[in-house]
Structure 1
C-alpha cells in the first residue's frame, strides 16, 4: 500500500490528545510558524473543549501580540504549562501566567532548542554552563515565573570540579513544524523558509519519544522530486503533512527569495535615520566594533546599531549572526526580527547556539530592561509580566564582549539632542539603573569570573563592569553629571577619575 501522509488540518490536530507535551517552532512575525495548524487546534478547542491540559514548549517567541502564534493556545484549560524562551508575542499567555492560570516557566532559548536535540538523542538532558547565576539557576528561581510553577526543571551538578546546570529531559508527544515543500512520504524541504530554526530537533524529540510529528507546508510535490540535499526533515520521522497554499514567509511578506537565501537581490531603500536619542546611543555603541569581529544584535536599540552599520556600507567588515541560525545579510527589525535579506549562510538553531555557548562570539549588542550595582541585567521579567530572554542568556553569557544598549530611564522622559549636545528636559518616571534588578537575566559577578568585557551604554552615560563594581566612564555633552545622572541612579557608581565626555558627533544631525 502506497504511503500517503497528506491530510487536512482538522485530521492532523486530532492527533493531539489531552495532557500532551507539544513542541513548537517559530519566531515573531510569522517566522516558520505553522499558522494553519495552530488555527485548527484553536478551532478544535473552542468547539469541543479539547485538547486540554497541554504542556507547550517553544524556544523563541511566536505570534503577533494579538491573535496568532502562541495566542492560539492562550486559553484557560487548553494549556496547563508553558515552557517558553520568549513570551512577549502573546500578551494573553502573559496574562494567564500573571493570574496563575497556568504553570509558567522560562528557560534560555538556546537551551530549549538544544534540549530538544538531547531528548531526541536519548541523552540524560542538557548539561551546560548556560544559565549559571541567572534566574534559571535552581538556587535562584529555577526558571519558575509564577507560584503555580512548582516542578524543578533544572539542577546543579559538578563535574571535574566545575559547576554545570542539567536541564532535565521530558517526553515530547507532538511536534508541530513547518516547511516549504513535502511529498506523500513526509519528506520536508525548507528551501523557501527564512530560517531553519530547531525544526529537525523538535521533530526528532517527538518521534523518538514515541510521539507524532505534524508538518505544515505550502506545496505538495511528487515523491522522488525533492533533491536529497533540500530535505531537512526526512519522511521517516513525519506522521502527518498539512498543505496550506496560503502559507507565507511572514505575516506581511508572502514570498521573497532574498529572505529565504535562495538568491541575492536588491535591498529595499530605506531613508537615512533622523537624529534621535536612540540613534545617538547606537552611534556610541558602534564605537565598540572592530574589523573581523563575529557579532550578534539583539532587539531594541541594538537594531539601530545594525541599521547604522548597514547604512555606512560596513556589513562586509564584520561577521554578523542571528540566533535563528543566519549569518550575514541585511537585518529586518521590529516584528520581523530574525529575518535577513541576502544572508551568507543558514544553519540550524541548535548548532548556532553551540557556536555561541562555546565562545564563538566576539561582540554582542543587547538591550536591557534594567541593570544594577552588581552589573546584573534584567531583560526577562518586567512590570510583573513574564517576558523571557529568548537567546539573550545563551548569547550574553558567552560573548567575549557584551555591549548593553538602552535608555537611561523610561516612561515620560523628554530629551532633546542636536548641535552636538544632549539636554534632559524631563526625566522618566521609571529608572532603569537600579540598586537591585527584579530578576537576574545576566549575572555581573559571573561575567567578572569569566573575564568578559561588559559595557552599559545609554544616551546620557556609559558604564563599565569591573571586578570592583560598575564604573561610570563617560557622560553625554550637555548633561549635568549630578542632576541628570547621579541623582537619577539607584546606586552610586565608581568614579576613579572624572568621566570623559562622549564625542559630540554622536549628537549632531
Structure 2
C-alpha cells in the first residue's frame, strides 16, 4: 500500500460532505492532530465545505481557548457529535447545548473500547458502565439536547443481568497523531506522553474502508524506526502530514519526563500552596492504604499525588490515570492526561479494561454537585456542558470512591493555618443541592454494589449510606451548624462527628 505525504491543507480537501470523522487526542494538546483540525476549520470558513460531518472523539480535545475541536465549531460543518468529554472545547459545547446539532456524551472508557470493537467487526460494546446515570436510556440516553434521537444506546439483558449496549458505527476518515512516520507510514510515539486509542481508531477506520490521516513531527527513512516504538503500522495509514512545529502538549514543546525518556527529580515539581485545595488533597490522601492502585481524576483530585510526593508517601501506592499512564505524578490543569515519571504507558482502552474489571482499589474524583441521595454531577450544569470523561467508568468500578471538592464555589475565601480553617467569605454557588442537574454518579447503584464512598471538602467529610449522606468530620475552627449543616438544603445523618486532623491545616 502506498502512503501519500501531503500538507495539512491538502489532507483537509479529502474530507467530504456528510462523512463520519473520528479524531484522536486528549485535552491540552496531548496527541492532538492540531494542524489537521486547524486546516479543516479554515477550509470550511473559506469554502463552506465539507458540510454535515458526524464527529466522534473519545475525550476532550482542545485547550479551552479555541483550539482542538473548537476549530470545527462552525454552523453547518457539523451534523452530530458523539464525545466522551466536551469541556476542552467550550464553543463546540455551547453549540451542542443550543441544539445546533445532534450531541451525545458517553463514558470515555466506553468510547475508547468502542473503537476497538469496530476494528474487530463486532456489533458494539456491552457493558455495565453507565447504568443508572444520564447515559442510561431510561434517564437521558447520553443526549445533550432535544434534537438528538434516543437511538445511540440500549438496555439489554444477558446472562440474567441488565447491561447497556453502545452500538458500533461506520467510519469514513480519521485524524490521528504520532511523533515520527517513516516512508512506509509506520508511526512511532517516542515523544508522546500517551498512546490513547490511536491504533484502534486507525484499525477501525481502515477496516471500515475509511481513510486514515496521520499528523507527525518528524519523518524517517523506511526501516529505521525501532519496531518496539511503532504503535500504528503503515498498513493502517493512508496519508501522512508533516508538522515540524508539533508540541507534545500545549504547555511544553517536549518534556522527556512525560514520555519516559528520563526521570525528573521530585524537587523539580512546583510546590503546592497551603489552601483549601491542599487541605482536601491531604484529607483525601489519608484514605489510601499502602499497596493501593489509585486513580486520580482531573481537577482538585489531581493534587493528591503532589501532596503524596511532599510527604514522602508516593512509593506507598501506584497512581494511574485513564489516558493510560501507570505510576508517576499526574500533571495538573489543562494537560491532565500525562504524568511525570510514569512506569508504564498503556493503550487507553486497556486501562479502562482494568478499571471496569475492578482493578482500582480507590479513586479520587471531583464533584460539582451532590444531592440528598448522594448522587454526583460533574458533567452538565444548566447551559454548560463539560461531559463525563472517564468519571462514569471509574466511579462505578473502584472499590472505594472519594469525591473531592470545596464546600461551595464562586468566590469562596478561607484562611488556612495554625491547625485550623476559617471561612472568610462563602462561595456564591452551592455544591450541595436538593437534586443534581445530571446524574453522573448514581448513589443507588453504588449502594447496591456495596461500594465505599466518601465526600471530602475543606471543612467537612461525609460518607454515603443507604439513607443518604452522613457527616463524619468537621475542620477545627469551623462551626458545624453555621458553616456546614445550615448550608445543606437537605437532612444529613449526624452521628459521632470527629474533628479533622489539625495537621492538614498547617
1:280 aligns with 2:279: yes
Which of residues 493, 496, 499 in structure 2 aligns to 1:498?
Answer: 496
How far did 1:113 drift? 0.6
- Aligned position for 1:507: 505
- Aligned position for 2:90: 91
Q: Are the aligned partners of 1:214 and 1:238 in contact in 2 as well (CA < 8 Å)?
A: yes
How far did 1:428 drift? 2.0
Cα pair distance change 1:157/1:29, threshold 3 Å: same
How far did 1:245 drift? 1.0
How far did 1:256 drift? 2.4
How far did 1:336 drift? 1.5
Q: Which runs of 5+ in 1 are unaligned?
A: none
How far did 1:182 drift? 0.9
- Aligned position for 1:431: 430
How far did 1:268 drift? 6.1
Q: How does 1:143-158 map to 2 (within 5 A)?
A: 143-158=142-157
Q: Are the aligned partners of 1:12 and 1:242 in contact in 2 as well (CA < 8 Å)?
A: yes
Cα pair distance change 1:268/1:86, threshold 3 Å: farther
How far did 1:271 drift? 4.9
- Aligned position for 2:32: 33
Q: Are the aligned partners of 1:214 and 1:241 in contact in 2 as well (CA < 8 Å)?
A: yes
How far did 1:50 drift? 0.8
- Aligned position for 2:319: 320
1:44 aligns with 2:43: yes
How far did 1:423 drift? 1.8
Distance in 1 (alpha carbons) for counterparts of 2:168 and 2:95: 25
How far did 1:230 drift? 1.8
Q: Are the aligned partners of 1:267 and 1:341 in contact in 2 as well (CA < 8 Å)?
A: no
- Aligned position for 2:300: 301
Distance in 1 (alpha carbons) for counterparts of 2:395 and 2:275: 26
- Aligned position for 1:484: 483
- Aligned position for 1:168: 167
- Aligned position for 1:5: 4
In the TM superposition, structure 1's runs of 4+ consecutive aligned residues that sit over 4 Å from their partners are none
Q: Are the aligned partners of 1:18 and 1:54 in contact in 2 as well (CA < 8 Å)?
A: yes
Q: Which runs of 5+ in 2 are unaligned?
A: none
- Three-state SS of the structure 2 residue aligned to 1:259 is helix
Distance in 2 (alpha carbons) for counterparts of 1:413 and 1:266: 34
Q: Structure 1 stretch 3-12 or stretch 467-476: which is displaced more?
A: 3-12
Distance in 2 (alpha carbons) for counterparts of 1:349 and 1:358: 14
Distance in 2 (alpha carbons) for counterparts of 1:99 and 1:330: 38
- Three-state SS of the structure 2 residue aligned to 1:55 is strand
How far did 1:301 drift? 1.6
How far did 1:159 drift? 0.8
Q: Structure 1 stretch 462-471 or stretch 122-131: which is displaced more?
A: 462-471
Distance in 1 (alpha carbons) for counterparts of 2:425 and 2:337: 34
Deviations 1:13-40 (A, max 9, x none): 2221111111111111110011111111
Distance in 1 (alpha carbons) for counterparts of 2:267 and 2:212: 37
Using structure 2 for the length normalisation, give the TM-score.
0.97
Distance in 2 (alpha carbons) for counterparts of 1:370 and 1:390: 16
Q: How does 1:373-452 map to 2 (within 5 A)?
A: 373-452=372-451
Distance in 2 (alpha carbons) for counterparts of 1:263 and 1:479: 45
How far did 1:267 drift? 5.1
- Three-state SS of the structure 1 residue aligned to 2:176 is strand
- Three-state SS of the structure 1 residue aligned to 2:320 is strand
Distance in 1 (alpha carbons) for counterparts of 2:153 and 2:239: 32
Q: Are the aligned partners of 2:382 and 2:437 in contact in 1 as well (CA < 8 Å)?
A: no
Distance in 1 (alpha carbons) for counterparts of 2:244 and 2:413: 48
Q: Are the aligned partners of 1:59 and 1:113 in contact in 2 as well (CA < 8 Å)?
A: yes
1:106 aligns with 2:105: yes
Distance in 1 (alpha carbons) for counterparts of 2:474 and 2:13: 60
Q: Are the aligned partners of 1:153 and 1:167 in contact in 2 as well (CA < 8 Å)?
A: yes
Aligned residue pairs total: 506
How far did 1:338 drift? 1.0
Q: Are the aligned partners of 2:56 and 2:82 in contact in 1 as well (CA < 8 Å)?
A: yes
Cα pair distance change 1:142/1:116, threshold 3 Å: same
- Three-state SS of the structure 2 residue aligned to 1:104 is strand
Deviations 1:443-463 (A, max 9, x none): 111011111100001111111
Q: Are the aligned partners of 1:155 and 1:166 in contact in 2 as well (CA < 8 Å)?
A: yes
Distance in 2 (alpha carbons) for counterparts of 1:274 and 1:235: 47
Distance in 2 (alpha carbons) for counterparts of 1:264 and 1:422: 37
- Three-state SS of the structure 2 residue aligned to 1:228 is coil
- Aligned position for 1:222: 221
Q: Structure 1 stretch 225-234 or stretch 196-205: which is displaced more?
A: 225-234
- Aligned position for 1:138: 137
Deviations 1:294-320 (A, max 9, x none): 001112221221210122232221111
How far did 1:219 drift? 1.0
